[in-house]
Each structure stands twice: as structure tokens, then as C-alpha cells.
Amino acid sequence: MTGKLGSAATASVIQLITAPSGMNSGLAALTGPDSLLAQPVGASNILAQNVAPDLAEKSRPLTYPSVNVYCEKISNDLTEKFRSFSGTVQAAIEVRHSQDRLDGLQDALELYVDSITQVLDAERGDWGNGMFFTGQYQVALGAAKQGGKNFIQVAKITFPIGVSRS
């Protein structure tokens, strides 16, 4: 059951950020129509996997920005008696942005993160299939390093999804 919970949570998150009112819609509102700072994220760049950036680059050609969604941890706390699962699924969204110059790298990455957190803020409540989101999340911005087009920076958004299933 726990493997299916992780996959179901990951699929729900991907569905939310790729929806018409998802990440790209928020990004367009944050940047304006003529901004070159942040480009929309293509559906092929949103992946359901937990893989290191350097390994991902070696396995297939990547375009940036890329978004990786995955389940980090599953915790059955048995908060509701007589349920087979009542606890949390810790989901993670990694946003990876790369460009040839350091100037503006973090600014663009923060725009992508802001567009995702706007989606999460708007989607508080019942997600269906026994999943619900309270609105809590943490954002960790990594340091820029060599990789991708020349420099790469990664931001990680983690958040708990409540799950209650019989």
C-alpha cells in the first residue's frame, strides 16, 4: 500500500502544477508577458522521479528549467483508529534551473519557486482519494554550482500531504 500512496501523491502534485491554473499560469502573472527572466516549463520537463542533477544530465538530454516531483517519506501514524493508513506522505518538488551566467540565476529560480508555492497556497484542502493538504511547506535554496548549461541551482520544496484510507 505504501508504494501506491507515494505514486498517488506524486501524480496528484504533478496534476496540480501542470493544470491550466498551475505553475505556468502563476509564472506568467509574476513575470509579465515580455520578461526573459523566467520561461514557461514544458510538460516534458516535469518528471516523477528522484534523481541527482548530474546523473539526470548523463541519462538523457535535459532542457531547463526542470521540475522533479517525488515522495520522500511515508509515515503511518495511525491517527485514526481502524484505518489501514492514516498519516502523512512527505512530498518534494525540486526545481532545477541552469543558465550560462550566474547573474540572475537565483532570481529566475525564485520565480519558479514562487509560482509553485502559489499553486500550493491555492490548493489547500481536500485533494480527493483520501488525501488532503493543510498548506504547510518548506523551501530550501541550494548553492549555485557547475552543471547544466554552465551553472545550475536547485530549490527544494517539501510538504506533508495528509492521507486517510481504509
pLDDT at 87 over 90: yes
pLDDT at 57 over 80: no
Res 55: pLDDT: 76
Q: Span 2-165: which CATH code? A: 3.30.2000
Res 33: pLDDT: 58
Per-residue pLDDT reduced to its tens digit, 97-147: 998 899 989 999 999 999 999 999 999 999 999 999 999 999 999 999 988
Res 110: pLDDT: 93
How long is the chain?
166
Per-residue pLDDT reduced to its tens digit, 5-18: 999 999 999 999 99
Is the four-CA dihedral 157, 65, 109, 26 of positive or negative sign?
negative
Per-residue pLDDT reduced to its tens digit, 149-159: 789 999 999 99
Provide the H-helix boundaries in 45-89.
Answer: 53-59
Per-residue pLDDT reduced to its tens digit, 17-48: 999 999 998 888 887 655 656 788 888 889 99
Confidence band for 72, pLDDT divided at 50, 70 and 90: very high
Beta strands in 21-149 (DSSP E): 46-47, 66-76, 85-99, 125-128, 131-133, 138-141, 145-147
pLDDT at 79 over 90: no
What are the sequence ranges of the domains in the chain?
Answer: 2-165
Which stretch of DSSP H or E encloses residue 122?
Answer: helix 105-122
Asked if residues 96 and 53 have their Cβ atoms less than 8 Å apart, the reply is yes
Q: What is the pTM of this model?
A: 0.91
What is residue 142's DSSP assignment? P
Query: What is the signed CA dihedral for 76, 6, 51, 65, rounded to 10 degrees?
Result: -120
Res 3: pLDDT: 63
Write the CB contacts of 89 (distance below 8 Å, at least 6 apart in sequence). 5, 6, 9, 71, 73, 74, 75, 131, 160, 161, 163
- Written as one letter, the residue type at 68 is N
Res 40: pLDDT: 85
- In the chain, the percentage of residues whose pLDDT exceeds 90 is 61
Of the candidates 128, 165, 143, the residue with the CA atom closest to the CA atom of residue 13 = 128
